[in-house]
Amino acid sequence: MQLVCPDCGTRNRVPDERLGDQPVCGRCGSALMASKPVALDDRSFGPFVEGTELPVLVDYWAAWCGPCRMMAPQFEAAAAQLPQVRFAKLDTEAAPQTAARHQIRSIPTMALFHRGREIARRSGAMPAAEIVSWVKQALGR
């Protein structure tokens, strides 16, 4: 299983049976399977989403957005329930290029990527249980 370090962008190979053993990046030591969402930016977004072999769920958000702030703990709770999905956040104010490239017109918007390709998208805040069931359905699980 190839996992990309959210901090330094290094592609790490982790045996599937070791995914639950809190693997860390061989270069910088950052957690590769953190149970909390990781923060991405214009530089790290592409390499992370394209290189991570597990599905990646991205929450596009901004600090000024009330519904985004309300959803943040729900997104974290959903992350804890779906360890086989990498949860990431993109601050659309800090990373305008990525937000524009992915045509994010309202926030919060969540997009699910698998092997670099976007396979599902939803706009609007959702509670954790709804996020979990939507992602499972989108992945056919």
Q: How many residues bind Zn ion (CB under 5 A)?
A: 8
5 as an active site residue: the answer is no
Decide whether 7 or 76 has the Cβ nearer to Zn ion: 7
Q: Which parts of 64-121 fold into alpha helices (H)?
A: 66-81, 96-101
Query: How far apart are the C-alpha atoms of 52 and 112, rounded to whole Å?
Result: 12
65 as an active site residue: the answer is yes
Q: If binding is defined by CB under 5 A, does position 8 make contact with Zn ion?
A: yes
6: exposed, middle or buried (Cβ count in 10 Å: 0-12, 13-18, 19+): buried
Query: How far apart are the C-alpha atoms of 65 and 133, rounded to whole Å?
Result: 24
Shortest distance, CB of residue 139 to Zn ion, whole angstroms?
A: 8
Residues 13-32 that bind Zn ion (CB under 5 A): 25, 27-28, 30
| Interface with Zn ion (CB under 5 A) | 5, 7-8, 10, 25, 27-28, 30
* Active-site residue list: 65, 68
